[in-house]
């Protein structure tokens, strides 16, 4: 029984690994862009000589680089299969959709983790900052818990390429962009237009950022703090409300994402939308 689950799951992880190796030049380009874009945003904080702003920007680019990469890989997995011409074969294979999508999610998480490590390394080379006193272990816990909720969102977004061969892929980028807008990645949610602020409550990134800012000790810094300021990160106990919300989101979004994906797959098979071109 265990072999019947983990062997095909490993097969999907192995396949995605080789796809990344096959298109390594594209992986390199996207990773380079992520590093440069992150450093460009972070250097705004250096230019203003504001340590608090700098840490807010660094936290935003690192967290979003990780969560967005994972979300995008899951959401675009159907588009990748359509380009490769393997979508119909995957959907006809005697493998449960849960096993298939779990393998895709694990692979996407590994890819996102690799990319965020390179982003952090690039920031260390290009941006002067220190994290002494920050609760880095707690931040890792928050990122892991937030990953679960983002997997659920990724599964829901992966439905779009199933339903529309031509427009589904770009639509996932619009979905991702809306999350970037309302989550307050680089700014407080309160600066958004009043009518847009309630939408931030539905994004896991909002709660992940709120928790990470406490754990990093950013909230305790005064505006215009010097670069030598000492950080005093909060404990995990102080972010239990945010962790609880993220856990609830993950428990709701993953089953909901699987349900929506299964319904979309059934519809696509019925209407012939699985063919490679539109």
Each residue's pLDDT tens digit, 86-125: 777 777 778 888 888 888 888 989 899 999 999 999 999 9
| Domain range for 38 | 2-271
In a domain, 130, yes or no: yes
pLDDT at 2: 66
Residue 89 lies in a domain: yes
Whether residue 276 lies inside any domain: the answer is: no
Q: What is the pLDDT of residue 1?
A: 61
- Could you count the other beta carbons within 10 Å of the beta carbon of residue 170? 13
In the chain, what percentage of residues exceed pLDDT 90?
A: 37
What are the tokens at 204? 């896991």
Which tokens go with 39?
């450093």
Instruction: Kindly tell me if the per-residue pLDDT of 255 is higher than 70.
Output: yes
Tell which wins on pLDDT, 166 or 30: 30
278 within a domain of the structure (yes/no): no
Query: What pLDDT is recorded for position 278?
Result: 45
Rounded to 5 degrees, what are φ and ψ at 100? -60, -50
- How many domains is the chain built from? 1
In a domain, 32, yes or no: yes
Q: Express each pLDDT in 161-172 by its tens digit.
A: 777 766 777 788
pLDDT bucket at 3, cuts 50 / 70 / 90: low
Longest dimension (CA), the chain: 63
Are the CB atoms for 77 and 50 separated by under 8 Å?
no
- Sign of CA pseudo-dihedral 63, 64, 68, 71: positive
Whether 72 and 33 have beta carbons less than 8 Å apart is answered as no
Q: How far apart are the first and last CA of the chain?
A: 38
CA angle 71, 15, 90 (to 5 degrees): 85
pTM over 0.95: no
| Residue 139 predicted with pLDDT over 80 | yes
Which residues, in sequence order, are CB contacts of 45 under 8 Å at separation 6+?
Answer: 51, 53, 54, 55, 56, 57, 58
Q: Is residue 43 part of a domain?
A: yes
Question: Residue 261: what pLDDT?
Answer: 87
pLDDT the model gives residue 16 = 83
Q: Looking at the domain assignment, is residue 23 inside a domain?
A: yes
pLDDT at 5: 73
Q: Is the pLDDT reported for residue 34 higher than 60?
A: yes
Residues 6+ apart with CB under 8 A from 210: 239, 242
Only one residue has tokens 């608090």, namely 52
pLDDT the model gives residue 267: 83
Q: Cα–chain-centroid distance for residue 211? A: 16
Two tokens at 28?
A: 């390199």
Q: Tell me which of 26-35, 157-166, 225-234 is least confident.
A: 157-166
Average pLDDT of the chain?
A: 86
Segment 1-25 mean pLDDT: 80
What pLDDT is recorded for position 157? 86
Distance CA 179, CA 185 (A): 9
Q: Judge whether 146 lies within some domain.
A: yes
Q: b/e string for 146-158 if b means 16 or more Cβ within 10 A?
A: bbbbbbbbbbbbb
């Amino acid at each position: 029984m265990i072999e019947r689950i983990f062997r095909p799951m490993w097969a999907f992880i192995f396949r995605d690994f080789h796809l990344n190796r096959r298109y390594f030049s594209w992986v390199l380009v996207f990773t380079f862009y992520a590093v440069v874009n992150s450093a460009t945003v972070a250097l705004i904080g250096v230019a203003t000589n504001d340590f608090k702003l700098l840490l807010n920007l660094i936290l935003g680019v690192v967290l979003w680089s990780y969560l967005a990469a994972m979300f995008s890989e899951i959401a675009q997995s159907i588009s990748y299969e359509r380009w490769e011409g393997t979508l119909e074969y995957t959907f006809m294979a005697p493998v449960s959709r849960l096993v298939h999508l779990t393998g895709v999610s694990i692979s996407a998480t590994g890819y996102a983790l690799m990319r965020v490590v390179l982003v952090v390394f690039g920031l260390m080379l290009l941006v002067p900052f220190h994290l002494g006193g920050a609760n880095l272990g707690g931040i890792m816990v928050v990122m892991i818990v937030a990953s679960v909720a983002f997997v659920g969102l990724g599964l829901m977004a992966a439905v779009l390429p199933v339903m529309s061969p031509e427009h589904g892929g770009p639509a996932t980028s619009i979905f991702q962009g809306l999350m970037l807008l309302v989550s307050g990645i680089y700014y407080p949610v309160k600066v958004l237009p009043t009518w847009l602020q309630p939408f931030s409550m539905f994004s896991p990134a909002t709660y992940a950022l709120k928790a990470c800012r406490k754990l990093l000790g950013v909230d305790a810094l005064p505006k215009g703090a010097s670069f030598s300021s000492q950080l005093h990160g909060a404990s995990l106990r102080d972010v239990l409300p945010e962790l609880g919300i993220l856990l609830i989101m993950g428990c709701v979004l993953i089953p909901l994402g699987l349900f929506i994906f299964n319904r979309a797959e059934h519809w696509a098979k019925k209407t012939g939308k699985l063919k490679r071109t539109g």
